[in-house]
Amino acid sequence: MDAADQNGWSAVAAEWAELWGSFADPARQAVLVEARVGSGSRVLDVGCGSGEFLAMAHALGAVPFGVDPAPGMVSLAHASVPSADIRLRGAEHLPWPDAFFDVVTAFNALQFADDPVIALAEMSRVTAVGGCVAVANWAEGALNDLNVLEAAVAAADDEELLPDGPLRPAGGLETLMRDAGLQVISSGLVEVPWKAPDDETLVRGVLLGEDAAGLAVRGPVVVEAAQPFRVDGGGYILRNAFRWVVARV
């Protein structure tokens, strides 16, 4: 594994893009509107993954920049938005000068930083005064059907799911922003449903990154736990939620 990619995101980049790449679009859409991203806005997406938000910002006429420590993610993001300036780096050290961007975002990424407080300070540093920093993350587990499946897998392994971290509950992101000296201007809860057309896709998505042996053992656990989420006509819909916050620097 690459030293700059200790979480293994490169290894799952293509599968992430295929199965999960667009599920956060409702949160991305809310942030685009609330942060007033438009023609000429200089926008940086931190932990940009396979580049879906960069593509949305680009479609609005913004000038997109991305950063991610996983080479596999960076190359997918480049392929998706060839004109974007995308760099291989973590949130903790952003390779841009102070006050360079109008809007800096992180979707489902801040929790992977070694220290989210330091990462947020760095996101603030590169944002112009009057610009916006926006963060969107999974809401508390109780609002996410995915949690039911992950709890079933953990129980089958004689383990328990870790408790929700501080970024997930209502008010968590707002507190983080205010503690960083930012002024919260809007926030919300948005549904981010995830759909799987069949058992095979369900298992690959929920057990993203598992090897063949892991899929064979845990796949049936996932399928059994997902039965409440089956839909007419086949397949599954997991109803999940993200919280998002937009704050002014």
In the complex, the residues that contact ligand SAM under the rule CB under 6 A are: 7, 9, 21, 24, 46-49, 52, 68-70, 73, 90-91, 107-109, 112-113
Question: Which one, 68 or 145, has the nearer CB to ligand SAM?
Answer: 68
Question: Which one, 195 or 230, has the nearer CB to ligand SAM?
Answer: 195
In the bound complex, what is the minimum distance in angstroms from residue 26's beta carbon to ligand SAM? 12
The residue nearest ligand SAM at its CB is 49
In the bound complex, what is the minimum distance in angstroms from residue 49's beta carbon to ligand SAM? 3
Least Cα distance to 147 among 34, 57, 225 occurs for: 225
Alpha-carbon gap, residue 146 to 154, rounded angstroms: 12
**Bridging pattern class, strands 183-191 and 241-248:** antiparallel
Question: Which one, 71 or 169, has the nearer CB to ligand SAM?
Answer: 71
Structure tokens at 51: 């580049």
Beta strands in the chain (DSSP E): 42-46, 63-68, 85-88, 101-107, 127-138, 183-191, 194-196, 236-238, 241-248
In the bound complex, what is the minimum distance in angstroms from residue 105's beta carbon to ligand SAM? 8
Neighbour count for residue 214 (Cβ, 10 Å): 12
Question: Which one, 192 or 226, has the nearer CB to ligand SAM?
Answer: 192
User: In degrees to the nearest 10, what's the CA dihedral of 200, 201, 207, 213?
Assistant: 30
- Residue 139 to residues 88, 145, 169, 191, 245, Cα–Cα distance (Å): 28, 11, 6, 10, 12
In the bound complex, what is the minimum distance in angstroms from residue 91's beta carbon to ligand SAM? 4
Question: Which one, 1 or 155, has the nearer CB to ligand SAM?
Answer: 1
Question: Which one, 89 or 230, has the nearer CB to ligand SAM?
Answer: 89
In the bound complex, what is the minimum distance in angstroms from residue 24's beta carbon to ligand SAM? 5
In the bound complex, what is the minimum distance in angstroms from residue 68's beta carbon to ligand SAM? 5
